[in-house]
């Protein structure tokens, strides 16, 4: 018996593409109501989760750590393939949810290590100075900064520092 799946996406092209791909797969039946599993692809503000029936299992496709919630299967968008989505739907159907990240991260998804680097950036320190202060390789500092920029969709180091200040992290 096929699993009943609803696809919810903010972008109509993403919705059409994912729906078309899933509709061709055996074991999947796309529905608008009465779904067992909801595949949610958020692309910004908007509450796609509000319309999901209680008891529906959720596959959330997002790279933003703030989107996840208990009881969901989280599939990073950067790892989205047809095969990974089918595995995630199967996991959700069988109640295999993604464990939440350890609480060593802030609500914004930043680790203590990332905040320490941002704090030193805010002081105007260069990469080499930050690396020396924290006993990291310069490449590690660059990787930390790049990871923060990508994950939080920030443009540059200055934007990252401004974000951290506004969020009360530093």
Q: Is residue 99 part of a domain?
A: no
Q: How many residues does the chain have?
A: 170
Name the residue range of residue 146's domain: 112-166
Please state the domain count of the chain: 2
- In this structure, what is the dihedral angle of CA atoms 87, 70, 10, 21, given to the nearest 10 degrees? 10
CATH number at residue 75: 3.40.50.2300
* Sheet strands side by side (includes 28-30): 28-30, 3-9, 37-41, 57-61, 72-75
Question: Is the same domain home to 88 and 118?
Answer: no
Question: Is the same domain home to 84 and 47?
Answer: yes
- The pLDDT tens digits along the chain (170 residues) read 899 999 999 889 999 999 999 999 999 999 998 999 999 988 765 567 777 877 888 898 887 655 556 568 888 888 889 999 999 999 888 887 765 554 444 556 788 899 999 999 999 999 999 999 999 999 999 999 999 998 888 999 999 999 888 888 88
Measured CA to CA, the distance from residue 22 to residue 26 in angstroms comes to: 9
Nearest residue to 89 via CA among 37, 144, 15: 37
Supply φ then ψ for residue 53, to 5 degrees: -65, 145
End residue of a domain, out of 93, 125, 156: 93
């Amino acid at each position: 018996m096929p699993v009943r799946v609803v696809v919810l996406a903010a972008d109509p092209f993403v919705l059409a593409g994912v729906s078309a791909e899933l509709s061709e797969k055996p074991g999947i039946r796309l529905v608008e109501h009465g779904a067992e599993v909801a595949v949610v692809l958020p692309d910004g503000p908007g509450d796609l989760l509000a319309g999901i029936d209680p008891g529906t299992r959720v596959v959330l496709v997002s790279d933003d750590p703030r989107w996840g919630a208990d009881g969901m299967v989280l599939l990073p968008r950067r790892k989205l393939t047809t095969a990974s989505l089918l595995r995630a739907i199967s996991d959700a159907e069988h109640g295999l949810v993604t464990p939440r990240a350890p609480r060593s991260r802030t609500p914004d998804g930043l680790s203590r290590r990332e905040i320490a680097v941002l704090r030193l950036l805010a002081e105007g320190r260069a990469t080499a100075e930050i690396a020396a202060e924290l006993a990291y390789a310069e490449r590690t500092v660059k990787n930390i900064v790049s990871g923060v920029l990508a994950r939080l969709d920030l443009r540059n180091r200055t934007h990252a520092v401004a974000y951290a200040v506004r969020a009360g992290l530093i």
